Structure 1
Amino acid sequence: MSDRLAALFLFAFVAAISPGPNNLISASSGARFGFLRTVPQMLGVAFGFPVMILAMGLGLGGLFDLVPGLHTVLKLAGAAYLLYLAWSLIRASAPSAGPDQSRPPGFLQSVAFQWVNPKAWTVALSVIPAFTHSGTDMLPQVLVIAAAFVVTTLPSLAIWAIFGVAMSRVLQDDLQRQRLNVILATLVAASVVLLLL
């Protein structure tokens, strides 16, 4: 049992720390708004993704078998949202855009984003069958998986947000900061490819 828990926490940590839309959003928000204003986004992800795992593990995944078009709609909505985030990031960094009136992603927005996040779907759909046993009560098993992601997600997002803050401090020049935002925006937009595969 302890070996399975260690494997689960290792899987959760690698999934949480590896680049993906949530981490890139934390980094870009940290760079643009600072660490404290990025905390609601980080909390939204740390709450929203385990809720998604619970819902998937307790049978919501069967809904997509019954209504396959729903999955396509969510994929397209996720792609559109990621492209919107990338465009907003590029526009916010433009020197002619004037003062930036935008706000960092909020808690509820980040919770909802998990349902259209390609990496979240990939991780949820792979972790549940890998770390559960059929024929036994699913609730305790899925709760342990969700708990593993609660423990690993928030520190991972914090690392990415701190990276964003550090990059913004290193890149004091407006042109350099704009280049960083363009790189981050490009990475966010590139994750759309994962969503549409």
Structure 2
Amino acid sequence: MELSLHLLWAFLVFAVVMFFTPGPNNIMLLASGLNFGFRRTLPHVVGVTCGYAFMIGVTGLGLGAVFASLPWLQTTLKYAGAAYLVYLAYAIARSGPPEPGEAERRRPMSFIGAALFQWVNAKGWVMAISIITAYAAISAYPWNVALQVLVSLLIGAMSSVTWVLCGTALQPLVKSARAVRIFNVTMAILLLASLYPVLAEI
């Protein structure tokens, strides 16, 4: 397996920038870290990491060609994802600190939910298609796809854990019900702002 080292370096830089910058996944992980803590958010972290890496692999192994021949399918997924993000933003904005006895009944996003969310994540699709098309020459097929999946797993896991830890670190600072409400509304606004790339194409 021959590697194009300069292209691999460019891919790593791109992946770090895209995974660590704010987007729907990171904003929801930050909010979950604050509201539920690190341990209870772990299934969400694993779901995001594995679900997105799987999406990269499937795209690299042929889904990209399906989108090229059926552009309406990608458009449908994009707007379905936008609608779902609006719903999530509404749910986050309305949530406050749990009432006594309610904390254990409220649950963060599950592994399955987080993994499935990747398929309606507008920023995720932009990243996946960019990764598969722009960095395909890293190595020969299918090793290039395997390498892209591996890098996505590693950097995605580091990014997800970092954002959850940031949310968890805010817990001592955001103690009052009003502060939690303000934080959640801010996260909801940022989540809506992450839709800009989709809305800009309308």
Whole-angstrom distance in 2 between the partners of 1:54 and 1:38: 25
- Aligned equivalent of 1:15: 18
Q: How does 1:1-197 map to 2 (within 5 A)?
A: 1-93=4-96, 99=102, 101-133=105-137, 137-196=140-199, 197=201
Q: Which runs of 5+ in 2 are unaligned?
A: none
Preserved contact between residue 57 and residue 138 of structure 1 (Cα < 8 Å): no
Deviation sequence 1:60-98 (CA, Å, 0-9, x none): 1121233222222211221121111111112211799x9
Whole-angstrom distance in 2 between the partners of 1:37 and 1:85: 19
CA shift, 1:116, in A, is 1.1
CA shift, 1:59, in A, is 1.5
Give the direction of change, closer, same or farther, for the CA distance of 1:11–1:71 in structure 2 (3 Å limit).
same
CA shift, 1:108, in A, is 1.1
Give the direction of change, closer, same or farther, for the CA distance of 1:177–1:133 in structure 2 (3 Å limit).
same
Whole-angstrom distance in 2 between the partners of 1:103 and 1:95: 11
Deviation sequence 1:27-73 (CA, Å, 0-9, x none): 01111111111111111111111111111111211212332222222
Give the partner amino acid of 2:45: M
CA shift, 1:152, in A, is 0.5
Give the partner amino acid of 1:66: S
| TM-score, normalised relative to structure 2 | 0.88
Give the partner amino acid of 1:192: L
CA shift, 1:9, in A, is 1.9
Whole-angstrom distance in 2 between the partners of 1:162 and 1:169: 13
CA RMSD of superposed structures (Å): 2.1
Whole-angstrom distance in 1 between the partners of 2:159 and 2:8: 19
CA shift, 1:189, in A, is 1.7
Aligned residue for 2:142, secondary structure, equals helix
Q: Which runs of 5+ in 1 are unaligned?
A: none
Give the partner amino acid of 1:191: S
Q: Which moved more, 1:26-35 or 1:1-10?
A: 1-10
CA shift, 1:15, in A, is 1.2
Q: Which has the higher helix share?
A: 1
Deviation sequence 1:150-190 (CA, Å, 0-9, x none): 11011111111111112222111111111011100111122
Whole-angstrom distance in 1 between the partners of 2:16 and 2:50: 16
Whole-angstrom distance in 2 between the partners of 1:4 and 1:174: 49
